[in-house]
Structure 1
Amino acid sequence: MINPAPIDPLPRRSAEICRGTLRLMSQLGYYGLTEMTLANHRRADIAAIGPGGDIWMIEIKSSIQDFRSDTKWREYMDFCDRLSFAVGDDFPQELIPPDAGLIIADAFYGAIIREAPETRLAPARRKAVTLRFARLGAARLTVAADAGWTPGDDGLTSPIK
């Protein structure tokens, strides 16, 4: 019997950190989308909008290697009011730069260890990011609503007679 290839734990780890972070954010009144492409063509791991319209970007790091190989995170700062890193509980916290917040998360929940410094967006930029967020969310809901749809016998999809 051939042994199956080992499963890479990092994508799963990232997914777990993402899930816990999104759950934390919703408890704080922020609702997020994953993998949101910004106007500068960078892609935020999580973009979340709070009850007052403030925008929080969260960069997920599943390992030290992942953190050290990605220096794009500063390019997200022009598109949010605050930026945080979300990592697992075994990540060395001292690596997280002081100009970003720190969230520790697992698959079930997260905790803010260090608040993210706030820099308010200009109104025009806020509107542009909010519109991008809304359109991405609506597009994803449209795809989800259409998935698996088939004509039924409910009379709503029958041809006109």
Structure 2
Amino acid sequence: MDPAMDWKGHYQEGYWQSFVSLCKATILNFDSDKGFLERFKDWQTGNGDESVGTMRRSNMSLMIHDLGVYALISWLAGILLGLLKEQKKDDKYKNLSTLDKMERDFAKTFALSMASSVEDLGAFKDLISPITDWTPPSLKFATNVYKDTKEWMSGDKDFSKVMSENIGLIRQTENVLFL
């Protein structure tokens, strides 16, 4: 375990601050007579303060690592969800055992968990959602229930499908319960 460190007087910043300072120092520094590579080297070395330079390089390498892991998980989740969609089409007219149905539900839950762990991108989705989606969640839920109930009453959709699409707990186990 690392010993506690006194941060008083130490310079620190996060990914975003490091990235913004990199852009300001290299791309947006119109007043400098230095070339791009010289400005980058100055930023990278913290303009002479090695602790700042080390921290900035560390932040940028961690950011690249995290974005790479994010991209990999997103890619794998997309592949899994696509394969599960194909599997569901193949299983439509099969008489599956309960164990096979449970296996499908587990795979679906795993893939959806992977996808939802990266689909938000945290603060970015929260900041942009008021611009991209004006529908309050309660209205969206009511609209979905109304639409699905109408499809059930017209015979286009099974009652079990209506239930599994509108109740989260049932949605996770729809294959075992309703397939």
TM-score, with structure 1 as normaliser:
0.28
Return the structure number with greater strand share: 1
TM-score, with structure 2 as normaliser:
0.26
Return the structure number with greater helix share: 2
